[in-house]
Amino acid sequence: MSSEESALWSVVFFKVEDTIFQVPTRRFTENSEVFANMFLIPQAGDAESVEGSDKEHPIVLDGYEATDFRALMKVLYPALNDVISGLCTLKKDEWVGVLNLSTRWQMKLIREHAIENLSKMSLTSFEKVTFARAHKVAKWLKEGLNEIVAQEESLESDELKSQLGLETAFRLMWIQNQSLKGTQSRFDPPFTLKSLGCCHCRAPMFISPRGCCDCGINISVDDPAAIYAFLPSSPTYDYSNFKLSLEQLRCTKCERQPIDYDTYGCPSCSLATGYKNFRLVPSTVTRQTSGSDVKVNEAFNEEITGYESWDQ
């Protein structure tokens, strides 16, 4: 057998907790700088007593869990069915174990694979932050923190403190408080005169500026600062079937009714729409952002930047 073939089929013995694992050496040296350097260091003594050479002389991996190591083996040495199907069917906790070891042992490709698969699973906002900090994943930290402060309900200090720690809880509550001030306690999506659609064809009902019927200020069709509407503010809300009454509108200057309660003819289909039967033009209405994502990036910039360096 050539030296290349010998290297291909050589095995190593690891002991993790109370379990002995006998695995081929090559995948460890190919995927991990830590193990590649470890196996380059010459060991004193005869071949039979070299660490990792047999069950009696395993490489002891202290501080690691056998379940995590077993999950990593499934990725490094997949079963034949997984190879044929192109799938690696691990549970969430197994992928977390793979991410843990691949991060600590500098297995860049395995780490990226674990992050990709975990990102496809249903991670809660708190899980994203917790996993991000444990395994240095910048995108999860940003996503999790932004999701938490974007909640419409006020953040509960006790829950934040128990899940994320006192300092993070304080920062997140401050960010949400500043965001609420920035929106003047209105969670309405940006709204313009052009957002008012015909109840028949959904085309914009107003295609030219109008004056507020109370204070007379000019309202242009594309100005989101001129009027606002009391609308559902969920980021996943489907506005395509939402019926709007002119009673829900307010002028931002006088805080009163900006458009007369009347029936209007559609400039596109010529049919009439009553003041309680307007439809929203979906493309003109989007979720209002308060800038909380920017505040999160600023408040946690040092931590986020530190994690980003792990994936460069």
Whether residues 278 and 305 fall in one domain: no
**Band of residue 152 on the pLDDT scale cut at 50, 70, 90:** low
Claim to verify: residue 149 and residue 234 sit in the same structural domain: no
104 and 227 assigned to the same domain: no
Is the pLDDT at 290 greater than 70, yes or no? no
Same domain, 219 and 278: yes
Number of independent structural domains in the chain: 3
- pLDDT for res 6: 47
Q: Both 209 and 132 in a single domain?
A: no
Q: How confident is the model at residue 111 (pLDDT cuts 50, 70, 90)?
A: very high
Structural domain span for residue 275: 193-284
Write down which residue in 61, 85, 110 finishes a domain.
110
The more confident residue out of 40 and 200 is 200
CA pair distance 95, 114, nearest whole angstrom: 6
Same domain membership, residue 201 and residue 74:
no
Report the run of H or E that residue 250 belongs to, with start and end: strand 249-251
pLDDT for the residue numbered 49? 62
User: Do residue 73 and residue 214 come from a single domain?
Assistant: no
Residue 116: inside a domain: no
Does the structure show a pLDDT above 50 at 236? no
pLDDT of residue 44: 55
Instruction: Name the nearest CA neighbour of 121 among 148, 144, 94, 92.
Output: 92
pTM, rounded to two decimals = 0.62
Residues 278 and 141 in one domain: no
Q: What CATH code is carried by the domain that includes residue 50? A: 3.30.710.10
pLDDT in tens, 246-285: 888 888 888 889 999 999 999 888 999 999 999 887 655 4
